[in-house]
Amino acid sequence: MTRPLRSLRNRLTLIFALIVAGAIGIVYSYVTPRLEDELVAQKLVRLQESAARESPRLEDVVGTGTPQRDVERRTTTAAKFSSAEVTVLQVSLGTVNQIYPVADSSPGGAALAEINDVAERAALGGEPVTDTVQTGVGRQALAAVPLIRNDKVRGVAVFADSLSDVQANVELIRQRILVAGAIALVLAALAGYVVARALTGRIKRLERAARKVAAGDFSNAIRADSDDELGQLAATFDDMQRQLAQLDTARKQFIASASHELRTPIFSLGGFLELLEDEELDEETRAQFLTQLRGQVARLRKLATELLDLSRLESGALELRPETTDVGQLAREIAGEFTPAASAHGAELQVRAAIDPIEIECDPERVAQVMRILLDNALVHTPAGTRIVVSAARENGRVTLQVADSGRGIRDQTMPHIFEPFFTSADGARGAGLGLAIARELAERMHGELTVRSTPGRTAFKLTLPA
């Protein structure tokens, strides 16, 4: 049984939910308290402004023998205009500080003991003081203003306002946050589940396709259904599948072609051996059969060598041994090797290379192998009497080796396939069709390029190497 958290869909859903829950927790535990502090601070500022505005009307009645009725009337007026409870206290500063109430706009509000600390600090400091205290009627915002007359503190007016409205507003915001957060959490979990399910569905589709490819089934194309990362992955996977299908087809064709190329000379050898077992066979016929046997053995040897070279090239196991090489001299030497074959073919073989050395760092054996393939190809696929020109030169900072012939040329429908393994033209020439494929692979391994241009009456294969 699969554990729930091992599922990508469930993990993505959980991550969505945790992110939203974390955001709600941050808002609830960090933003809300700061909001409450801001609201309380704003209330204290407004209360202090009201106290500063209304306190002058109280300075003239404290400690002056003003009738109690007038003191209470002014206190009530100050409370009315400030929308706060106002308590007026008389102060006697000396060896023992005495603070006692003179008037209170709302008896039964904050007790004297609860506002005494704020009033004493304002009286001693001679400056307004604001604070919040927990009283018997709830939490209160306090603003204490010293009442100064003739540069002497005569009393203190304490303005008090309940913070219940702030607390109610904050509590309402907290409840709204919790309700909205719960809704957002549910929606986030559902959205995360839907999105994760869609993503995992696309991933499972790729997984199923990968399993089929691993089993050798390349028939199911994967179409990119979007431009996002998974869509790009699907497109890349489809391209990989297509290339693997081509490689599989090429591998099967390679095996079939190699089997056919090997089977033909082997069967031929078997037939000649049976014929040679005939004791009545005359010597002349026997000699002809032996010549045919040698030809088939040479064909097998060449095919086996070419197959080995191609396999090593495709696997990257072929090692290059670069050294300073005069490719002009190399071209002359390779052309010299083919002089007897060209004479037997009735072909005119020419070499065009500068007398001055054309030296580069390359593997001379592999360059020579490419040149031999091109010369052999020119002799095999051209009629007798064809002129073949081997040339070496420097061009645009690179070195080129070219084998050109004046034969019939390569047909347009044949041109795209001449570098494919086991491809043979329809001109009746014998061969396994591996030479040009090997030549191109060798050129690429040497960081060079093998190209061909062909028109009726001229075909030129050019090997370009870095200088």
pLDDT of residue 293: 77
- Which domain does 333 fall in, by range? 323-466
H or E stretch covering 99: strand 98-104
- Whether residues 44 and 67 share a domain: the answer is no
| pLDDT at 425 exceeding the cut of 70 | no
pTM of the model: 0.47
Q: How many residues does the chain have?
A: 467
- Whether residues 425 and 354 share a domain: the answer is yes
What average pLDDT does the chain have?
82
- Whether residues 378 and 458 share a domain: the answer is yes
43 in a structural domain: yes
Residue 450: pLDDT band (50, 70, 90) is very high
- Whether residues 71 and 10 share a domain: the answer is no
- Whether residues 253 and 334 share a domain: the answer is no
pLDDT of residue 172: 87
From residue 118, give the alpha-carbon distance in Å to each of 114, 131, 145, 158: 8, 7, 9, 8
- Whether residues 185 and 49 share a domain: the answer is yes
Q: Which of 296, 315, 334 is the last residue of a domain?
A: 315
Residue 431: pLDDT band (50, 70, 90) is very low
Q: How many domains does one find in the chain?
A: 4
pLDDT of residue 65: 77
In this prediction, residues 322-348 reach a mean pLDDT of 90
pLDDT of residue 128: 92
83 in a structural domain: yes
pLDDT of residue 1: 44
pLDDT tens string 394-410: 988 899 999 999 988 88
| pLDDT at 428 exceeding the cut of 50 | no
174 in a structural domain: yes
| CA angle at 225 for the pair 221 and 227, rounded to the nearest 5° | 120
From residue 384, give the alpha-carbon distance in Å to each of 239, 424, 452, 455: 47, 20, 22, 18
| pLDDT at 334 exceeding the cut of 60 | yes
- Whether residues 85 and 35 share a domain: the answer is no
- Whether residues 343 and 298 share a domain: the answer is no
pLDDT of residue 400: 93
pLDDT tens string 36-72: 888 999 999 999 999 999 888 888 888 777 888 888 8
| pLDDT at 282 exceeding the cut of 80 | no
What is the DSSP code string of 68-94?
Answer: HHHHHHHHHHHHHHHTSEEEEEEEE-S
223 in a structural domain: no
222 in a structural domain: no
- Whether residues 382 and 364 share a domain: the answer is yes
- Whether residues 28 and 111 share a domain: the answer is no
- Whether residues 454 and 335 share a domain: the answer is yes
- Whether residues 297 and 418 share a domain: the answer is no
220 in a structural domain: no
Q: Which of 315, 337, 358 is the last residue of a domain?
A: 315
pLDDT of residue 222: 73
177 in a structural domain: yes
* Low-confidence winner among 138-147, 193-202, 402-411 (lowest mean pLDDT): 193-202
What percentage of residues in the chain have a pLDDT greater than 70?
85
> Which candidate, 154, 211, 163, places its Cα nearest to that of 42?
163
218 in a structural domain: no
Residue 383: pLDDT band (50, 70, 90) is confident
pLDDT tens string 262-276: 666 677 677 767 777
In this prediction, residues 175-199 reach a mean pLDDT of 82
- CB-side exposure of 187: number of CA atoms within 13 Å? 6
pLDDT of residue 256: 64
Q: Is residue 433 a contact partner of residue 440, using CB atoms and an 8 Å limit? A: no
Q: Which of 276, 296, 315 is the last residue of a domain?
A: 315
